[in-house]
């Protein structure tokens, strides 16, 4: 004990040891050091409190066979050796007995019984074994605790949850929130023994570790499973190289599911890289939404205006822009050109209106937060690559190519954030992965939804954008995603992959949008890289993944379903409900019921305005190619007016029109649909 005290005192500087002193030589042979004791890492929870990652205690079993009294050691040796042999199955009972005897005889104070770690339940069991039951100081047993990170859902969202290495490097939420999760390490005295092994020495001066805090994520584990399973199945079906899917709540920006899969070269798909956050790719046609925002905000174009796309080719300098449709689309309305995803139309429009002032177009790119990182809670975010007029790479073809999503690189989350803003009434919010930091049940820090842009465009433009995105699914490139129970709005994307400066016949396919279209609650993006086979477009590769996820959400979320109809009971003596219709019919009905009426217009179609116990008829103008105001009308009248204006009607419910999907007075293209909710 005196030697131990001198060694420790010399190590921590409490005494000076003269050179040549016999104690100094002995201290050099027996090294002591205060070493780090790792804190228990905090938990990572899903949105409903399910564990996504936790630290489980495991133990390395060692022994100081010199500490047990002779009678205790001799009496328990046979039984202990038998139990160790049966549990570890690496040595015979006699080998364990000989190993323990030899260690005690030679005064060995630290003997690792087996390198295999045991869990807490096994530790409790072993603590009752002979000799071990005497404890650390009387039996010599040493259970060295080692926390092991455990993911109850295995590889689900593995890259987003992430990791931290021993050297402090890592990825995902584990790394991004390491300061909170990691806690505060402690310190304890260790003795270095043979084989460069460090044995803990309990001297009473230990600094206790402070356990890490927990974090609550936005991940819905059930939706995560659906998203990952669907992505994996379709990637395998198309033999694709990489894929990502992100599902987000429109109003909050909470990321409910995120999956990133990469082929491992052996026919399997693994979560090796977070493509949604760190992936930099040309977005292709999903970027056409930016082009439409710029055009609708800065020019006087109407969606019903025509544009000639010819045979599907247009030349800018020495390069050609081509449409995917064989033979071209000919003359289209601007709305139809977006719905059919005409590259030629977008390139011609942008060149005409922004060719001499590209800065105005790029101002929209900047305002839509597409030129800088979003500042996410998770590390590894890519910096977008946007070419500008002052750059050497800028040329006369840059802007026409940018108009349909080439010549720039952004992350999938940038694209989703933009589309989510359209769904969120123009309010652009930052995607959220973590909602709070907790210490047990105590809230330490809360993360609120952060607004990036309170209004990405005018209300007029916003209404037209939503009309365009619904049209893509109703009439355009994503008609295969149309659903009878709820509406989807979004955009397909198919971009050729650039390799060694040349575009190949390999593609990045995507679909991004939101649902239900009339009252968006969720937005999502699906990107699949290099699908093989004859299906290589966004609608038939990425689109079905989106649809499967949307169907699952619709089936599970009761709030997305229309409520059952409520029967209306009229009380006697109460003025009847008269809201609108044909003036002649309404006047006749009012006279029959004894209700006084006054007319402020000679128009055939009117809206009713109550004036005390009488009703006044007001003008309800109906124009061709303009959306009529049919709220309050009976379904028969609403159907007549809509079809007379050139609209195709889809309805839900019975009774009068409570809501209409298209704003009254706005222009619409040929074949446009209007959705009426009746009640």
Please tell me the predicted confidence (pLDDT) of residue 345. 95
Per-residue confidence (pLDDT) for residue 211, from 0 to 100: 86
State residue 203's pLDDT score. Answer: 58
pLDDT cut 70: percent of the chain above it: 86
Predicted pLDDT at 247: 97
| Lowest mean pLDDT across 160-174, 190-204, 218-232, 448-462 | 190-204
- Predicted pLDDT of residue 101: 94
* Residue 536 C-beta-side C-alpha neighbours within 13 Å: 15
pLDDT in tens, 296-338: 999 999 999 999 999 999 999 888 999 988 888 999 999 999 9
- Give the pLDDT score at 577: 62
Place of tokens 């210490």: 439
Q: Which residues have C-beta within 8 Å of that of residue 561, sequence separation ≥ 6?
A: 554
Tally Cβ neighbours within 10 Å of residue 149.
14
Distance, CA of 384 to chain centre? 18
Confidence at residue 15, expressed as pLDDT on a 0 to 100 scale: 42
Q: 30: burial class by Cβ within 10 Å (0-12, 13-18, 19+)?
A: middle
Q: Tell me which range, 4-18, 198-212, 399-413, is most confidently predicted by mean pLDDT.
A: 399-413
Q: What are phi and psi of 7, to 5 degrees?
A: -60, -45
SS3 394: coil
Task: Select the more confidently predicted residue: 655 or 365.
Answer: 365
**What pLDDT score was predicted for residue 251?**
96
User: What was the pLDDT predicted at 315?
Assistant: 92
pLDDT at 201 over 70: no
Q: Which of 40-49, 360-369, 441-450, 664-673 has the lowest mean pLDDT?
A: 664-673
Helix (H) or strand (E) holding 97, with range, is helix 93-105
Band of pLDDT at residue 572, cut at 50, 70 and 90: very low
Q: What is the pLDDT of residue 571?
A: 46
Lowest average pLDDT, out of 17-21, 234-238, 402-406, 502-506, goes to 17-21
Tokens, residue 609:
């305005």
> What global pTM score does this model have?
0.76
The answer to whether 617 and 597 have CB atoms below 8 angstroms apart is yes
Q: Bridge partners of 608?
A: 617
* Distances 101 to 84, 85, 98, 168, 630 between C-alpha atoms, Å: 14, 15, 5, 42, 95
**Quick one: pLDDT band at residue 588, thresholds 50, 70, 90?**
confident
Whether the predicted pLDDT of 449 surpasses 80: yes
Q: Are 344 and 321 in contact (CB under 8 A)?
A: yes
In this prediction, residue 661 carries a pLDDT of 82
Stretch 443-470: mean pLDDT: 95
3 state SS of 333: strand
pLDDT at 673: 80
Mean pLDDT over all residues of the chain? 86
Tokens of 621: 């103008």
Give the residue from 507, 474, 611, 545 showing the smallest Cα distance to 259: 545
Of the ranges 40-49, 193-202, 559-568, the best mean pLDDT one:
40-49
pLDDT of residue 194: 53
Which residues, in sequence order, are CB contacts of 136 under 8 Å at separation 6+? Answer: 142, 202
Domains of the chain as residue ranges with CATH: 38-181+208-215 (3.90.1310.10), 221-560 (3.40.710.10), 580-678 (no CATH)
**Best-predicted range by mean pLDDT (5-14, 280-289, 595-604):** 280-289
Tens digits of per-residue pLDDT, 495-532? 998 887 788 889 999 999 999 999 999 999 999 999 99
The 10 Å Cβ neighbour count of residue 641 is: 23
- Residue 347 pLDDT class (50, 70, 90 cuts): very high
- Strand ranges for 250-400 from DSSP E: 255-263, 269-270, 306-308, 313-316, 319-322, 331-333, 385-386
Residue 14 carries which DSSP code?
S
Pairing of strands 428-429, 451-453: antiparallel
Mean pLDDT, to the nearest integer, of 333-354?
A: 95
The full length of the chain comes to 679
């Amino acid at each position: 004990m005196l030697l131990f005290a001198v060694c420790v005192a010399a190590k921590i500087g409490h005494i000076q040891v003269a050179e040549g002193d016999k104690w100094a030589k002995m201290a050099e042979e027996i090294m002591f050091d205060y070493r780090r004791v790792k804190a228990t890492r905090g938990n990572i929870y899903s949105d409903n409190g399910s564990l996504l990652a936790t630290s489980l205690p495991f133990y390395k079993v060692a022994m100081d066979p010199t500490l047990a009294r002779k009678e205790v050691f001799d009496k328990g040796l046979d039984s202990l050796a038998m139990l160790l042999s049966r549990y570890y199955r690496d040595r015979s009972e006699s080998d364990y007995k000989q190993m323990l005897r030899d260690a005690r005889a030679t005064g060995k104070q630290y003997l690792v019984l087996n390198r295999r770690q045991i869990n807490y339940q096994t530790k409790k069991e072993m603590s009752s074994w002979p000799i071990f039951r005497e404890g650390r100081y009387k039996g010599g047993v040493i259970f060295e605790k080692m926390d092991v990170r455990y993911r109850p859902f295995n590889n689900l969202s593995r890259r987003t949850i992430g990791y931290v290495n021993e050297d402090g490097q890592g990825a995902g939420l584990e790394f991004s929130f390491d300061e909170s999760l990691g806690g505060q390490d402690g310190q304890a005295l260790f003795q270095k023994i043979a084989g460069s092994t460090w044995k803990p020495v309990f001297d009473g001066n230990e600094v206790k570790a402070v356990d890490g805090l927990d974090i609550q994520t936005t991940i819905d584990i059930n939706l995560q499973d659906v998203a990952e399973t669907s992505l994996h199945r379709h990637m395998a079906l198309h033999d694709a190289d990489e894929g990502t899917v992100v599902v987000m709540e429109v109003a909050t920006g909470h990321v409910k599911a995120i999956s990133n899969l990469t082929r491992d070269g052996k026919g399997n798909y693994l979560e090796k890289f977070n493509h949604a956050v760190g992936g930099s790719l040309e977005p292709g046609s999903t970027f056409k939404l930016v082009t439409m925002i710029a055009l609708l905000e800065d020019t006087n174009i109407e969606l019903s205006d025509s544009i000639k796309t010819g045979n599907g080719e247009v030349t800018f300098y020495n390069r050609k822009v081509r449409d995917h449709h064989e033979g071209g689309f000919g003359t289209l309305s601007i709305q139809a050109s977006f719905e059919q995803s005409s590259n030629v139309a977008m390139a011609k429009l942008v060149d005409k209106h922004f060719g001499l002032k590209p800065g105005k177009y790029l101002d929209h790119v900047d305002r839509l937060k597409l030129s800088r990182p979003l500042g996410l809670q998770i590390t590894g975010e890519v910096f977008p690559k946007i070419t500008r007029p002052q750059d050497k790479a800028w040329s006369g073809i840059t802007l026409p190519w940018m108009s349909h999503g080439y010549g720039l690189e952004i992350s999938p989350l940038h694209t989703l954030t933009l589309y989510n803003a359209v769904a969120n009434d123009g309010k652009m919010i930052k995607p959220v992965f973590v909602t709070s930091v907790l210490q047990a049940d105590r809230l330490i820090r809360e993360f609120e939804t952060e607004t990036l842009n309170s209004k990405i465009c005018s209300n007029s433009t916003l209404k037209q954008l939503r009309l365009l995105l619904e049209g893509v699914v109703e009439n355009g490139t994503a008609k295969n995603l149309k659903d009878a129970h709820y509406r989807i709005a979004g955009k397909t994307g198919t971009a050729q992959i650039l390799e060694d400066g040349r575009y190949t016949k390999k593609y990045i396919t995507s679909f991004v949008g939101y649902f239900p279209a009339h009252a968006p609650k969720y937005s999502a993006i699906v990107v699949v890289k290099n699908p093989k086979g004859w299906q290589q477009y966004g609608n038939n590769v990425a689109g079905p993944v989106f649809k499967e996820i949307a169907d699952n959400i619709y089936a599970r979320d009761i709030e997305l379903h229309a409520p059952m109809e409520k029967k209306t009971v009229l009380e006697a003596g109460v003025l009847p409900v008269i809201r609108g219709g044909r003036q002649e019919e309404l006047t006749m009905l009012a006279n029959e019921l004894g209700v006084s009426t006054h007319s402020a217009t000679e128009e055939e179609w009117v809206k009713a305005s109550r004036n005390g116990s009488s009703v006044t008829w007001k003008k309800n103008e109906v124009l061709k190619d303009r959306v009529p105001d049919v709220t309050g009308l009976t379904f028969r009248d609403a159907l007549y007016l809509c079809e007379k204006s050139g609209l195709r009607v889809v309805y839900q419910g019975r009774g009068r029109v409570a809501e209409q999907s298209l704003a009254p007075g706005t222009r619409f293209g040929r074949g446009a649909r209007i959705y009426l909710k009746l009640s």
